[in-house]
Chains A and B, each alone.
Chain A
């Protein structure tokens, strides 16, 4: 056994996932595919455990470039572990689904995320970064509806844009520093800024977040679970690696944590609500990175770790609800507790983990962030985070169980979720509780040694106060009937702009093409066109013929250019 384990030492776990994904894409038999879906993450986990010594493995020499494809160190290992676990949970959760494309791409997507986390240089990072973009999009396309197709294209475009920015920034960075190694960057020079934007797009920074609310709710039930785990957390890792201690991130993170409050209240689609909740949690992680102290980075890592599980759990619950009822709208759901009691109970576990109730995983990580910020001495950030914790986090977390399983009964009489879904949700819920009680196990994984006691009196009391405030706010909103209970409204976020711009530019291009055909025919923009027409009328007897025959116009240009070159030559030094 040890021998087999040693064999795996230094092998990148991502390889198993990606190879498994490629095989799954090719396998026509569902059973075999499902076996691969489960086996590949397990092999990856084995490789993760087999590699005990931090170090750089699998170095590839590519011409002048040295690619560090497997950098196993304190920071990367925890992210890789959570991605591998998430891939395994997804494998179980998706057992009932019969789609070759989704199965294969989900595995490759997970593998690419692991590979990106282990990347020691920008080239490797870029390759895996783009792979996550390419292989996550099929999970949205798989939903089939035209709206999902368009959302998938927009999603793909913006994710690829992030990759292109990453490569551009990295190229400039490398030409300045002479090294492609991916380490602390800092946002002080243009290259760093471009990289920050590239990471920020994936981390759903405010005003760059719209792809998430746009695409995630339109994915398939299973697809949303997979999507929620990897892309954004990968971005948090990249930020932690490159921009630890960048002050601006504290501001960005605080805004991220706080701004979804309105959307969370009025949003009717429960999966969209969860996407906003995800935004809020990412904000907490970004703040941790921005603080940049060992405690801050630990906080970001711990939040990412447990966040994957409770967000996956919530998306799984919604996936199960959709699987049975076909909708995720608050106005059409309610009273499902009678039909799906186990799912309902698990959703409550997830909600408690999100809000950070003591004994749940959210508690031991949220207190880390708040402590990191308070030690850092940023009072305003601390205050806003507390409000965000009470407002956004709780409202979103309580909203899902309340509207789906309790609240007004809409008469859905459905079966309990399928067994495999229950199993996956059960495992995720177990982890939510286990990590909350055995917090030492979690803290042991963190990148920096930590001496921190989550269960102190003031921590517990503080968190319970936040909880109470949030629960009160929620009850008040229900009592005042401020939650939307009917109708399908579109909430105007900046994503409206983004959807319009994305689709619009293309349509606008088509429409303008016809309008401007005449103008562009002459080879010039409207403004310049006016000038050249004057020139033309000045010099040419042909006049209006120029519209059809550009040769006269071009003769003039030739002359103008000749004059230009002559002038330049005349004034040139010898």
Chain B
């Protein structure tokens, strides 16, 4: 691969460094007692990972480009292969960008929420989680993928539990997630076992070739079922989403911001990778699973989770349920099993990271200033924190899909894809879910802008620190800019979808 932005010596190993830098730097971060220094280490290592991701992204932009990197010089299929095409390159770039922005926000937010002695450990765990997610997104080896999935999950359980200082329910939320996440991971590894048993290889590209040759093998189908359900749980596919609302609601604000923008997305990527590349979406059992399992669950998720969001009083829980509904939108795009549908799903994947990033970051800013989380506490916030409230409003409107925001672009492409597939009922479901979204967003916005402030004293808010204001503004602007000028996002998503559907070659 030609070096793009980095020096050639670094660029040659970008896929490995992407994962290794955060993973290795977690050790010094854990050993240093000073939380602020640990934060700097984390920012620098995620920044480096972002640079690597950019390198990888630019290198794989050409049609059909696949960057196969042999870990440690052991050639695949015997060694571990890192295999990056336009699909996971887009995901890695998203992961790096949102991770970096969220980490900037973490500085003041973590200092506020996590006790002094735990901060460096917290950053260390976060780096492990980040490395795990990057590993999942870049590896081409099934077992390696499982290992990274577990690395990221275990670190995630730890950092969610760190929210216990705000609310002890964080502990039960984390424990529940641990139990459920382990079930998901177990299912996944069972599925991998089935595939390994039948194909005799763990390299995913190799597996794909072997599977294509053994049409009708029931063991392969069982393996697929286990993998789909296991990763579906990680991706919060309805009704396997029940770990998510509490985890998002009680984790520290920074963790929620990071997870909401990345974790389910990575799992969603794994589903795409397996159903399109390892298995083929043209085989009967995969395409039927798309139509009869993924699509109905996607639509059920869109409707039920949106309705549940309507009934929440805790704002972060509300947006957590909304996230489940948004996963439904992505899954719907996947379920169409067309190039257009997958493109729409990828567009929404990227756009959803922007809107939820902005929303949870604004919530973090509110929490930092007032320590509030219930809708009732939002009364009159528009008067005391107008700028943050405006940023929140933009994110909320984007979530609803108001034109000139990215949310509208997502829905526009999704509806077009549904019409192209002739799925009128899916369009109806999208519209109904959007209307429900209008209501739950309306509730909050009315509290912020219309209802006068309550009795409690809101006279002297803490100023929103620059480390929060800057990433928040970046995300809000992204919501607006890409809502008008959608071409970059759409082309990235289209390249990603083409990579999955046609193996990277645009027909």
Contacts and interface: CB of A to CB of B under 8 A. Distances in A.
Determine if chain A interacts with chain B. Answer: yes
Interface of A: 63, 126-127, 130, 149, 153, 157, 167-168, 171-172, 175, 505-506, 509-510, 512-514, 516-517, 520, 522-525, 548-551, 553-555, 557-558, 561-562, 564-566, 568-574
B229 A517 contact: no
Contacts of A558: 183-184, 187, 229, 233, 240
Interface string B223-247: 0111011001100000111110100
Contacts of B280: none
Contacts of B180: 551, 554-555
25 contacts: A63-B487, A171-B415, A175-B416, A175-B420, A506-B439, A506-B442, A510-B443, A517-B311, A520-B311, A523-B308, A549-B172, A550-B176, A551-B179, A551-B242, A553-B242, A555-B179, A558-B183, A561-B297, A562-B229, A565-B229, A568-B288, A568-B292, A568-B293, A569-B221, A572-B284
Given A63-B487, A555-B180, A562-B229, A569 B224 contact: yes
Contacts of B12: none
Contact of A570 (B221, B450, B487): B221
A574 B280 CA distance: 12
Nearest to B217: A574
A135 to B, nearest CB: 15
Interface string B251-285: 00000000000000000000000000000000111
Given A516-B311, A551-B176, A562 B187 contact: yes
Contact of A568 (B179, B184, B285): B285
A107 to B, nearest CB: 21
B311 A509 contact: yes
Contact of B289 (A175, A509, A551, A568): A568
A506 B311 CA distance: 10
Nearest to B449: A153
Contacts of B225: 562, 565-566, 569
The 3 A-B pairs of least Cβ separation, nearest first, read A572-B284, A569-B285, A565-B225
Contacts of A516: 311
B403 A126 contact: yes
B215 A574 contact: yes
B1 interface: no
B211 interface: no
Contact of A525 (B184, B240, B304, B313): B304
B141 to A, nearest CB: 24
B372 interface: no
A513 B309 CA distance: 9
Interface of B: 172, 176, 179-180, 183-184, 187, 215-216, 218, 221-222, 224-226, 228-229, 232-233, 239-243, 245, 283-285, 287-289, 292-293, 297, 304, 307-308, 310-313, 375, 403, 412, 415-416, 419-420, 427, 431, 438-440, 442-443, 446, 450, 487
B153 to A, nearest CB: 14
Q: Which secondary structure dominates chain A's binding surface?
A: helix
Q: Which secondary structure dominates chain B's binding surface?
A: helix
Contacts of A512: 311
B303 to A, nearest CB: 10
A522 B419 CA distance: 34
Nearest to B400: A164
A565 B289 contact: yes
Given A570-B221, A572-B287, 9 more contacts: A175-B416, A506-B446, A513-B311, A549-B176, A550-B242, A551-B179, A561-B229, A565-B229, A574-B215
A570 B292 CA distance: 13
A147 B232 CA distance: 48
A166 to B, nearest CB: 11
Contact of B439 (A127, A505, A562, A571): A505
Contacts of B307: 525
A561 B292 contact: no
A554 to B, nearest CB: 5
Given A510-B443, A524-B239, A572-B288, A565 B312 contact: no
A168 B228 CA distance: 34
Nearest to B324: A523
A523 B293 contact: no
Contacts of B450: 149, 153
A509 B431 CA distance: 20
A557 B240 contact: yes
A41 to B, nearest CB: 27
A509 B310 contact: yes
A570 B297 CA distance: 19
Contacts of A572: 221, 284-285, 287-289
